[in-house]
Structure 1
Amino acid sequence: MKKFTLWIKEKLWVTPAAYSILAVALSIIFFYIDLHWIDAMSEYIPSILLTNVDLAKTIMGSLSGALLTMTTFTFSTILVVLTMYSSQFSPRTLKNFVHDRLTWRVLGIFLGGFIYNTLSLLFMRRIFTVTM
């Protein structure tokens, strides 16, 4: 069992995958909260915070694109700098960066935010109520 936990701790994909699974779960939970409790809670929420679906889709689409762009530029810039640094000073610099837990968490937060925004965008729809 100890070997398995050490093997899991060494894998880069485990932390971002955990953050991504958490993002999927939160997106589904908030979708059902919004679906079932929005009518009961709408009298307590200020009207300025309640928007229409088209505006929400525009905002969430922009946020998804921004998070993906931010992730790409952040990690590609850092890796270019570290590659240049490791070629001139220490070849272990890039390996230390890749195996740093903080790097894994930052990547997990970026990916989790992107997945949350994208799934929330997919869950947005108009709810038509029929009044008689």
Structure 2
Amino acid sequence: MLLNAVMDDSVKTIMAPLIGAVMPRSGIMYVIFFTLCAPLALYRGPLNLWGLGSGLMALMVATGSIPGAAVMGALFSVGMIQGVCDPTNTHNVWIANYLGLDIQKILRKTIVYMWVLALLGLLFAGIKYF
């Protein structure tokens, strides 16, 4: 549903030039851009493939500024942060409840490790697709 809404011609004509203007054009900029933006996958944010990210991914591919496989590599790499660290994930809520922890503590304890793994995934994708 969201994908259809984002790919509607009225939305696409407004958003595609904006997305195209900020998309990185080289492998180095690709890695830097998506590494810095990686936390935007948290809380069902704009780089979360299971949320707004699917629509943004389609717009990124539609601009033709970077290869579709590179977009996939970026969202899967930053998606690791969401999969492990996101306080809105049910498994994190269960763990925090069971251990009697604040859910944010799980985020703080895991984000650095997952950010490094996301960077490694982005490096791999940057080398492979640029």
**Shared fold (TM-score, shorter chain, > 0.5):** no
Relative to the length of structure 1, the TM-score reads 0.31
Relative to the length of structure 2, the TM-score reads 0.31
Instruction: Return the structure number with greater relative CO, CA threshold 8 A, min gap 6.
Output: 1
